[in-house]
A and B are shown apart, each in its own frame.
Chain A
């Protein structure tokens, strides 16, 4: 259990276009999902926290108008990179927190990660 998928796995687009990346929890519900970006040979940097039915919470320095997040259901969050530019090229990874752990005294805040999406902007 606890599988998270991302689509697409790889996308190449022209500068100025918008790209949508989907993140799905396949066998569990996730009230909260997270979006990260990872530059080559670097660690993951949290971009935003996606909350089902409410606005996303963005980390400092992340442009909310450029990286649009929608969490319309308990199993789907989308990240749209608007007017993409070459500097947006990166590896984008989502994660989902398993709702089944919510409320448990021993809740571990475990997040399950998707396989990532490689975005290349030409």
Chain B
């Protein structure tokens, strides 16, 4: 069975400082991993995805994430936070061996960016 754990429900950073949103996963097979961002009352936007190619994945808006199999982690980082980054972030896992293509969502991390 697959699962995703987002270790922090809230993360608060100052504008211009680094961002780290933590995610650990559990998957029986080869996972695909995603980070999605959701702004208030909006749908989800794909930030980046891992599919077994390069372990360091670069996404949009300066975000990147590193797949670490030994640690079963897929943490999201950004060198310098911007006010517009304030949103809810979801770490998501999908089992590439599962033909149902279901996504399993983490509980989300709310990122607050202080001026």
Q: Which residues of A contact B96 (CB under 8 A)?
A: 107-109
Verify B94–A109 contact, CB threshold 8 A. Answer: yes
Verify B44–A43 contact, CB threshold 8 A. Answer: no
Verify A118–B36 contact, CB threshold 8 A. Answer: no
Verify A49–B41 contact, CB threshold 8 A. Answer: no
Which stretch of B21-29, B62-70, B77-85, B101-109 is in the interface?
A: B101-109
The tally of residues in B whose CB lies under 8 Å from a CB in A reads 24
Q: What's the nearest-Cβ distance from chain B to residue A78, in Å?
A: 17
Q: What's the nearest-Cβ distance from chain B to residue A21, in Å?
A: 13
CA distance A34 to B32 in the complex (A): 17
Q: Which residues of B contact A46 (CB under 8 A)?
A: 102-103
Does B74 count as interface, using CB distance less than 8 angstroms? no
CA distance A14 to B12 in the complex (A): 40
Q: Which residues of B contact A106 (CB under 8 A)?
A: 51-53
Given contacts A116-B43, A118-B41, A43 and B107 within 8 Å (CB-CB): yes
> Which of B43, B94, B102, B108 sits near A113, CB closer than 8 Å?
B43
Could you tell me which A residues sit within 8 Å of B by CB distance?
Answer: 4, 6, 32, 34, 42-46, 49, 57, 91, 93, 95, 97, 106-116, 118
Q: Can you report 25 residue pairs joining A to B where beta carbons are below 8 Å apart?
A: A4-B43, A6-B43, A34-B103, A42-B108, A43-B90, A43-B106, A44-B44, A44-B90, A46-B102, A46-B103, A49-B100, A49-B101, A49-B102, A91-B41, A93-B43, A95-B103, A106-B52, A108-B51, A109-B32, A109-B96, A110-B49, A111-B103, A113-B43, A113-B45, A115-B43
